[in-house]
Amino acid sequence: MSEEFNVNDQFIKFKGKKVVLSLKNKDEYTGKIITIDNLLNIVLETEEGLQVFKGGKIAFISMK
C-alpha cells in the first residue's frame, strides 16, 4: 500500500519565498524557506546557513 504525502497547499506557497519567521520566544529569523511540512517544521536558508525550526515553536511566518 503506497500513500503519497501531500503538503497543505497554503503551506507549500511559502516554499522558496523570503520570509520573516518569528518564534514564540520572540526570536526572529529572515531567510528563504527550503522545505515545509504539514506540522510547520521548516528548513530556512539564512545568512548563517541552513536552520531547522520545529513547527510548535513558531509564532508566525510573514512574507518579506
Is residue 41 in a domain?
yes
Q: How many domains does the chain have?
A: 1
DSSP state of 6: -
Is the confidence at residue 35, as pLDDT, over 70?
yes
Q: Is the pTM of this model over 0.85?
A: no
Q: Using only C-alpha atoms, what is the Rg of the chain?
A: 12
Question: Are 50 and 32 in contact, with CB atoms under 8 Å apart?
Answer: no
Question: Are 17 and 33 in contact, with CB atoms under 8 Å apart?
Answer: yes
User: What CATH number is associated with residue 43?
Assistant: 2.30.30.100
Cell (9 digits) for 45: 536558508
DSSP state of 57: G
Whole domain around residue 19: which residue ranges? 9-63
Is residue 53 in a domain?
yes
Is residue 4 in a domain?
no
Is residue 59 in a domain?
yes
Q: How confident is the model at residue 5 (pLDDT cuts 50, 70, 90)?
A: low
Is residue 1 in a domain?
no
